[in-house]
């Protein structure tokens, strides 16, 4: 589809045609007036800034690792206040429902009894953790930090592409992108009233503090648990720990004694109350999950279940962001909040339903078919880009085990003007806002991380496939 999708895609700056959308008015004028040499200079300065940070934090030039710099585009993606207000309401509603859903599937299971979600989708889900059944998580919150991937298809329609309820990453890029824009283009911030994002760490800290176990002191000891410096997101872990002012710990820095978690300090063991963990469930405690994990902390789950420590996010949240469960999210939102969902799902065919599967089999060349348990683009068929053999392979798979798949129409993701080799051209973007849930309520800094597919016509925004990022502006007036 490539070109075709480009032509019909909604452009964030020019809409569906040649009009200029008001939010981009000043930016457009600036782009036209700015001398090309100045823009080129700023672009190389931005690159330098990130390279330095890359050198500073990540592993640029390091033989032992493959982490690279993610390209940054200097043209911001702009959202208006009304657009954001609606998005934010939708995000709050969705994350509220995700937390209620998790409390329900590990508790009374009302949504299963009511037939909203098929029982096997939950119980046979690899991310459903039996350890969590009938366990009361502190303050009833499971998903403290969520990253909801949003795509836009026209002026009014935003779809949720994916919920990330485990350990979503990328928020450090959101903050660094703003930082570099503020440094390089102060004049743009004088002409635009851009809502700030630099209070994210404060909000995160407040959220983490609010969910400390009730037995914890009023100034709870919080730490961030990382798999270590060879993890690809280690830069973000150390960035966040630094901004939060909390210790960045590895599994070996923690020990559990009599169901209490301590960290090893120069003054002896110090009790830990809240752990913002960036380690997956299966590695977090070798006594309960993978016994060969050296990243985790033996006994951590015991301490967790004794109510002596809070894990953020809770164990077992993966059941809520699974692709099959995703297709039931509109019903889940309605069931738990009693409201119509504000954010739509991408229309999804559940192949487990015979009628839907029949349609999918008839239209494979038009659809995107995803394996329910796959992630990161694996086990996926993009119909319009696939050859006959690939389509036939999927046809066989779909006939053999339809319950393992969902299908969606290929979307014309919105585009945003972007610097490319040939000048400024439209490129497809998505958006990942970060939503925080604590005992103190839900918060969400305006905007989020905009990812952009730098290849012409490409819909793949993943950094591993040549995607870049942009600063995301929510205009206050």
Partner 1 sequence: MLSRTADSLYWVSRYVERAEYLARILDATMRLSNLPSSYGGAGTEWQSAVATAGCDETFAKAYGEANERNVCDFLTFNPDNPSSIRNCLALARSNARGVRTALTSEMWDALNGAWLELQRFEKKRMDREEFARFLDWVKNVSLVFDGSAYRTMLRDDGYWFSRLGVYIERADNTARILDVKYHVLLPANEQVGGSLDYFQWTTVLREVSALTAYHWVYREAVKPLLIADLLILNRRMPRSLAACYENISRFLDLLGDSYGRQGPAQRQARKTLANLSSTGIEDIFQHGLHEFIEDFITENNRLGGTIIEQYLQ
Give the residues lining the site for partner 1 (CB under 8 A): 55-57, 59, 61, 228-229, 238, 241-242, 247-250, 252-253, 263-267
User: What minimum distance in Å lies between the beta carbon of 150 and partner 1?
Assistant: 31
Which residues, 6+ apart, have CB-to-CB distance to 330 below 8 Å? Answer: 341, 344, 345
In angstroms, what is the minimal distance from the CB of 172 to partner 1? 13
Backbone angle region of 91, left / alpha / beta, with phi > 0 → left and psi within -120 to 50 → alpha? alpha
CB of 169 to partner 1, least distance (A): 17
Residue with tokens 């800094």: 445
What's the token pair of residue 85?
């207000």
Taken in order 197, 198, 199, 205, is the CA torsion positive or negative?
positive
If the CB atoms of residues 162 and 236 are measured against partner 1, the closer one turns out to be 236
Element (H, E) at 180: helix 171-184
Min. distance of Cβ 212 from partner 1 in angstroms? Answer: 20
Closest approach, Cβ 285 to partner 1, in A, equals 19
Cis peptide before 453 (omega within 30 of 0): no
Q: Give 180 or 452: the residue with its C-beta nearer to partner 1.
A: 180
- Alpha-carbon distance values, 140 to 90, 322, 329, 444 (Å): 21, 21, 20, 19
Specify the residue, 100 or 248, whose C-beta has the smaller distance to partner 1.
248
Considering only CA atoms, which of 16, 37, 18, 20 is closest in space to residue 28?
Answer: 20
Q: Closer to partner 1 at the Cβ: 65 or 373?
A: 65
Packing angle between helix 36-57 and helix 234-244, nearest 10 degrees?
A: 90
Exposed, middle or buried: residue 121 (CB in 10 Å: 0-12, 13-18, 19+)? buried
Nearer to partner 1, 39 or 69 (CB): 69
Could you tell me the smallest distance in angstroms from the CB atom of residue 264 to partner 1?
Answer: 4
Judged by beta carbon, residue 41 or residue 55, the one nearer partner 1 is 55
**Minimum distance from residue 219 beta carbon to partner 1 (Å):** 17
């Amino acid at each position: 589809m490539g070109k075709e999708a480009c032509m019909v895609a909604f452009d964030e700056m020019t809409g569906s045609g040649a009009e200029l959308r008001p939010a981009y008015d000043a930016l457009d004028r600036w782009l036209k007036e700015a001398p090309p040499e100045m823009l080129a200079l700023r672009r190389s300065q931005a690159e330098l800034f990130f390279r330095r940070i890359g050198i500073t934090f990540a592993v640029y030039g390091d033989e032992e690792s493959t982490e690279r710099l993610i390209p940054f585009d200097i043209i911001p993606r702009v959202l208006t206040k009304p657009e954001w207000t609606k998005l934010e309401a939708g995000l709050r509603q969705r994350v509220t429902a995700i937390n209620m859903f998790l409390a329900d599937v590990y508790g009374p299971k009302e949504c299963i009894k009511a037939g909203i979600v098929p029982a096997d989708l939950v119980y046979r889900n690899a991310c459903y953790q039996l350890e969590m059944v009938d366990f009361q998580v502190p303050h009833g919150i499971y998903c403290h930090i969520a990253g909801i991937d949003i795509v836009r298809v026209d002026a009014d329609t935003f779809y949720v592409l994916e919920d990330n309820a485990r350990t979503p990453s990328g928020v450090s890029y959101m903050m660094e992108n703003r930082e570099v824009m503020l440094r390089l283009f102060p004049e743009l911030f004088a002409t635009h009233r851009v809502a700030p994002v630099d209070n994210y760490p404060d909000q995160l800290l407040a959220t983490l503090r609010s969910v400390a176990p009730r037995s914890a002191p009023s100034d709870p000891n919080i730490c961030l648990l990382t798999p270590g410096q060879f993890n690809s997101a280690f830069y973000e872990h150390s960035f966040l720990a630094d901004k939060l002012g909390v210790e960045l710990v590895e599994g070996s820095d923690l020990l559990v004694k009599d169901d209490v978690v301590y960290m090893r300090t120069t003054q002896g063991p110090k009790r830990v109350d809240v752990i913002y963990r960036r380690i997956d469930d299966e590695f977090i405690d070798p006594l309960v999950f993978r016994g060969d994990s050296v990243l985790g902390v033996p006994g951590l789950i015991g301490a967790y279940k004794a109510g002596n420590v809070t894990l953020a996010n809770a164990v077992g949240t993966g059941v809520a962001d699974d692709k099959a469960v995703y297709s039931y999210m509109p019903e889940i939102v309605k069931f738990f909040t009693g409201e119509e969902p504000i954010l739509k799902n991408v229309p999804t065919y559940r192949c487990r339903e015979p009628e839907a599967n029949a349609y999918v089999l008839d239209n494979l060349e038009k659809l995107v078919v995803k394996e329910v348990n796959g992630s990161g683009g694996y086990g996926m068929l993009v119909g319009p880009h696939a050859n006959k053999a690939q389509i036939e392979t999927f046809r066989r798979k779909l006939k053999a085990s339809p319950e393992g798949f969902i299908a969606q129409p290929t979307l014309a993701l919105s585009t945003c003007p972007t610097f490319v080799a040939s000048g400024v051209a439209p490129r497809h973007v998505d958006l990942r806002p970060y939503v925080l849930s604590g005992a103190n309520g839900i918060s969400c800094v305006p905007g989020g991380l905009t990812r952009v597919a730098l290849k012409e016509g490409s819909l793949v925004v993943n950094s591993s496939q040549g995607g870049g990022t942009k600063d995301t502006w929510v205009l206050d007036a």
